[in-house]
Amino acid sequence: MTDTPDIIYTKVDEAPELARASLEPIIRAFAGKAGISVETRDISVAGRILALFPDYLTEEQRVSDDLAWLGELVKTPSANVIKLPNISASMPQLTAAIKELQAKGYAIPDYPYEPKTDAEKEARARYDAVKGSAVNPVLREGNSDRRAAKPVKQYAMANPHRMGDWSKDSKTRVASMDGNDFFANEKSATITAAQAGGAKIVFTAEDGSETVLKSGLKYLEGEVVDATFMSAKALEAFIRKEIAAVEPGVLFSVHLKATMMKVSDPILFGHFVKVYLEDFIAKHGAELKAMGWNPNSGLGDLESKIKGNAAFEADYKAVMDAQPPMYMVNSDKGITNLHVPSDVIIDASMPALIRAGGKGWGPDGKEADTVCCIPDNCYAGVYDETIEYFKEHGKLDVTTCGSVSNVGLMAQKAEEYGSHPTTFEIAAKGKVEIVLDSGEVLHSHAVEAGDIWRSSTAKKAPILDWIALGVARYKATGSAAFWLDANRAHDAELIKYVEPALKEAGVEIPIMAPREATRFTLETMVKGQDCVTITGNVLRDYLTDLFPILELGTSAKMLSIVKLMQGGGMFETGAGGTAPKHVQQVLEESHLRWDSLGEFCALGESFSFLSESKGNAAGAIMGKAIDVATQKVLDNDDSPKGRVGQNDNRTSHYHFARYWAEAVAAQTEDKALAEAFAPIAKALAENEEKILAEIHAAEGSPADLGGYYLPDEAKVASVMRPSATLNGIIG
Ligand SMILES: NC(=O)C1=CN([C@@H]2O[C@H](COP(=O)(O)OP(=O)(O)OC[C@H]3O[C@@H](n4cnc5c(N)ncnc54)[C@H](OP(=O)(O)O)[C@@H]3O)[C@@H](O)[C@H]2O)C=CC1
Ligand SMILES: O=C(O)CCC(=O)C(=O)O
Ligand SMILES: [Mg+2]
């Protein structure tokens, strides 16, 4: 990795990509003046697809495999990456991207749903490497430290967002299985020196015939290896029971993470679709299958397949009407909770519902109490306890509550979020075993057809790094807990690492099961005290949306630092996603309400890190100036708002650029740098009215981006950089 640029900025999709088109030219120009190089690497869905199919493309169409390059970079000390949220593509998103690329003249194959030939199998494997959460696990070679920067928290306390009221007799609740789920069936072991080495996963049918589900596994000494499964029969019985138990006026909903848990959760989602539509499928199952419909793809796909078939449509409507009303993703557009698996994103949906006072949106466009099915018990208790807490105490007072930050075990594909290659839908009754090269059976489970079996692991070095990071953040914050359940197999293995490490560090941090830790954290924060949640990978994801969405109104403003294990740094923006709704608004009226505060925070950290890691003095000055600018954007309320004519993403970038330039011009450590920025600061200030007028003039009518997954660069630039005056000053 010679000649690595000082800072890498990632090109992504949807709203953060539009924001990049406006912000990155400013960053590049300013950094250039300080002798700091900034380059872009493409991790968009389209970019990732094209990188994997060079043999289908012309010479001019070929692109480099930037994700692979970045995957190597993050394993080196010279990594300094600003990572914006990227799409974890569901099937509907992946197929839409393929279609768009084909229409634009890229001769890539269709997605082979049922690959038969070797070429189809090969193409399928390539596409599956793009599907779901395919970027984050590759780049996250470090553990996660997510918190709100001080000014961000202070702003939220002074400008409280809207919170729904909680009523003591709210019928909103979490429903989970009685057992036979991933939680109950989990087995876990820490690999000894004698056990370290190769392993395979073997399915043995009742007749004794063996199928190797996965070979070539390698376990290191100290690695925690889990195996578990969820019974399909028990899952369907649970869903049936919960649908029947929904009281009148209450909505039915399911909350999973089909993007991140890309193998298991679309299957779980499919079971919900199957049971909800049981009568319809019983009547038309064979024809639906012939139409190529699979419950895992959801009601959206079903509706498009039966469109125009009056008999089917009538039966479908009758069945839908007979079931309890569903919680909606978009009630205006008739998009239900069971339409598209990628819309079922628990870390976004549950906090939004809790922030609203336990209310979801129903098909009638009105808010209502909601039964929230979270089938597995590993983490459901967190949401259940939060809901119970607010029922008892009423809504959170965001003007006084403390700040909840997170240290998450994430490095090297830790835990469930690294389990895609070792998750299987079981074909028949039998047993699944992890067999070590020595012949020793590490874990064994009796399973039935349809059960979802999976194995997750966490390596020793990341575990120790995570504990150390947790201790450091605890010392800086004053209150913390390890969210580990001594009664869960995996957590019990981790506790064996945590207890001695805490003793050695001489600190006492409580270890609590997730439900208990939820209450502890809520009680600490309502007292106005800050608190660190030290968690595994899944709770890292869930809690860094839950608490920020309650405290700050959104997780977009989080500072998200990944201290890479090999010494580099990755600075993620926010804790949420790519806000597809924001793109819709741009297409309709050229107003982008995406808030780049996450990018500003990450940028400041990245420049400061440059000074620490490479002794780059200009980096330190630029980083400090960014912090000043970020504070000013908040103080002056320059952040984007929702409507045309108000501040938007582009006007916020103008203000940020101006404050940044002013802060560099005002500092006295580096005279030459101050002089270089003085005229820029002056020009930006003098032209404020003109620049803002040019940006606002471009609003109110539809925008043409020339595509969705592969937009036209020039068109995006003209939408996102409409001020000739600003562009001239930035140069
Ligand atoms: N780190 C990563 O790489 C992540 C990627 N994703 C991916 O993102 C996509 C969309 O996920 P989804 O669950 O809809 O979640 P999002 O976080 O994209 O959107 C949920 C809502 O949060 C608000 N929001 C999010 N970011 C911002 C921001 N910067 N400024 C203002 N508001 C913001 C918006 O609310 P409003 O509409 O009210 O303005 C938005 O509609 C998926 O493809 C998913 O895979 C998801 C999570 C993390
Ligand atoms: O990679 C993904 O799919 C989502 C990541 C995510 O939600 C997070 O890290 O908070
Ligand atoms: Mg998340």
Is the CB of residue 222 less than 8 Å from the CB of residue 500? no
DSSP-based three-state secondary structure for 84:
coil
Residue 621: predicted pLDDT:
97
pTM: 0.94
Q: What is the DSSP string of 228-287?
A: EEE-HHHHHHHHHHHHHHPPTT-EEEE--BTTTSTTHHHHHHHHHHHHHTHHHHHHHHHH
As a whole number, mean pLDDT of residues 497-522 equals 98
- For residues 389, 393, 396, 402, the Cα torsion angle rounded to the nearest 10 degrees is -80
Q: Give this complex's ipTM.
A: 0.98
146 is in an annotated binding site: yes
Q: Residue type for 555, please? A: S
In angstroms, the CA 234 to CA 227 distance is 18
State yes or no: 125 annotated in a binding site.
no
- DSSP state letters, 201-244: EEEEETTS-EEEEEEEEEE-TT-EEEEEEE-HHHHHHHHHHHHH
Per residue, what are the HEC states of 2-39?
Answer: CCCCCEEEEECCHHHHHHHHHHHHHHHHHHHHCCCCEE
The number of the ligand nearest the C-alpha atom of 262 reads 2
Average pLDDT of span 358-379:
97
Checking if the pLDDT of 213 tops 90, the result is: yes
Q: How far apart are CA 196 and CA 191, in angstroms?
A: 6
- Ligand 1 centroid–CA 14 distance in Å is 10
Residue 212, marked binder? no
At residue 601, does pLDDT exceed 80? yes
Could you identify the atom of ligand 1 that is nearest to the CA of residue 347? 13
Q: What is the pLDDT of residue 344?
A: 86
Asked if residue 151 belongs to a known ligand binding site, the reply is no
What pLDDT, on a 0 to 100 scale, did the predictor assign at position 1?
Answer: 57
Encoding tokens for residue 338?
Answer: 């069971």
The pick from 10, 67, 88, 578 for probing ligand 2's pocket by mutation, whose C-beta has the most ligand atoms within 8 angstroms, reads 88
Say whether pLDDT at 173 is over 80: yes
Q: How far is the CA of 420 from the centre of ligand 2 (A)?
A: 14
Nearest to 268 by CA among 183, 328, 196, 181: 181
| CA-closest candidate to residue 315, choices 277, 268, 350 | 277
Question: What is the pLDDT averaged over residues 77-81?
Answer: 96
Q: What DSSP state is assigned to residue 147?
A: E
Q: Give the pLDDT confidence score for residue 108 in this predicted structure.
A: 98
Give the mean model confidence (pLDDT) for residues 224-253: 98
Q: Is the CB of 86 under 6 A from ligand 1?
A: yes
Mean pLDDT value of segment 267-292: 95
State mean pLDDT over 193-207.
Answer: 98
pLDDT of the residue at 90: 85
Name the residues around ion ligand 3, CB cutoff 5 A: 347, 541
Residue 137, classed as helix, strand or coil, is helix
| For ligand 1, mutation pick of 256, 578, 586 (most atoms within 8 Å of CB) | 578
Q: Whose CA is nearest to atom 6 of ligand 2?
A: 541
Region 545-569 average pLDDT: 95
* C-beta of 594 in contact with ligand 1 (< 6 A): yes
DSSP states of 512-564:
E-HHHHHHHHHHHHHTT--EEEEE-HHHHHHHHHHHHHHHTS-STT-EEEEEE
97 has binding-site annotation: no
Q: How far apart are the first and last CA of the chain?
A: 30
Query: Using 50, 70 and 90 to split pLDDT, how confident is the model at 2?
Result: low
Reported as a pLDDT band with limits 50, 70 and 90, residue 281 is: very high
Distance from C-alpha of 676 to C-alpha of 36, rounded to nearest angstrom: 14
Per the annotation, does 384 bind a ligand?
Answer: no
Bridging pattern class, strands 7-11 and 80-83 = parallel
Please state the rounded mean pLDDT for residues 83-111: 95
137 is in an annotated binding site: yes
Query: Using CA positions, which residue lies closest to atom 4 of ligand 2?
Result: 260
pLDDT tens for each residue of 5-44: 999 999 999 999 999 999 999 999 999 999 999 999 999 9
Supply the DSSP symbol for 482: E
- On whether the CB atoms of residues 50 and 100 are closer than 8 A, the answer is no
Cα(428)–Cα(725) distance, rounded to whole angstroms? 67
Do residues 377 and 452 make contact, with C-beta atoms less than 8 angstroms apart? no
Quote the CA–CA distance of 505 and 500 in Å, as a whole number.
9
The CB density around residue 158, as the number of other CB atoms within 10 Å, is 10
Per the structure block, which two tokens stand in for 57?
Answer: 């493309």
Q: How many angstroms separate the alpha carbon of residue 579 from the centre of ligand 1?
A: 4
Q: What residue owns the CA closest to ligand 2's atom 9?
A: 541
pLDDT at 730: 96
Pocket of ligand 2 contains residue 347 by CB under 6 Å:
yes
Burial of 689 (0-12, 13-18, 19+ CB in 10 A): exposed
Arithmetic mean of pLDDT, 619-647: 96
Distance 673 CA to ligand 2 centre (A): 38
- DSSP reduced 3-state for 197: strand
Q: How far is the CA of 50 from the centre of ligand 1 (A)?
A: 25
613 is in an annotated binding site: no
**Which ligand is in closest contact with the Cα of 83?**
1
Residue 713 tokens, joined: 């660069």
Closest CA to 142 of 488, 414, 487, 433: 414
Please give the Cα distance from 468 to 498 (Å, whole number): 10
Å from CA of 555 to ligand 3 middle? 9
Q: Which two tokens stand for residue 262?
A: 């890309």
Give the Å distance between the CA of 576 and the centre of ligand 1: 5
Residue 433 bridge partners (DSSP): 202, 444
Closest ligand to 555 CA?
A: 1
Residue in 340, 554, 583, 650 to alter for ligand 1 test, most ligand atoms within 8 A of Cβ: 554
Number of continuous H segments (helices) and E segments (strands) in the chain: 27, 24
The model's pLDDT over 299-324, given as tens digits with 9 standing for 90+, comes to 999 999 999 999 999 999 999 999 99
Measure 208 CA to ligand 1 centroid, in angstroms: 48
Is the CB–ligand 1 distance for residue 554 below 6 Å? yes
Tell me if 135 is assigned to a ligand binding site. yes
Least confident of 237-251, 569-583, 665-679: 569-583
**pLDDT value for 535:** 98
Among 116-120, 214-218, 258-262, 458-462, the range scoring the smallest mean pLDDT is 258-262
Query: What value does the mean pLDDT of the chain take?
Result: 96
Does residue 347 have a known ligand-binding role?
Answer: yes
Nearest to 324, CA basis, from 375, 219, 272, 249: 249
Alpha-carbon distance of 4 to 79, in angstroms, equals 8
Pocket of ligand 1 contains residue 99 by CB under 6 Å:
no
b/e burial code for range 595-610 (CB count within 10 A of at least 16 → b): bbbbbbbbbbbbbbbb
The verdict on the CB of residue 619 being under 6 Å from ligand 1 is: no
Given a cut of 60, is residue 488 above it in pLDDT?
A: yes
Q: Please state the atom number of ligand 2 nearest to the C-alpha of residue 544.
A: 10
CB atoms within 10 A of CB 3: 6
What are the phi and psi torsion angles at 398 (to 5°)? -75, -10
DSSP 646-696: S--HHHHHHHHHHHHHHHHHH-SS-HHHHHHHHHHHHHHHHTHHHHHHHHH
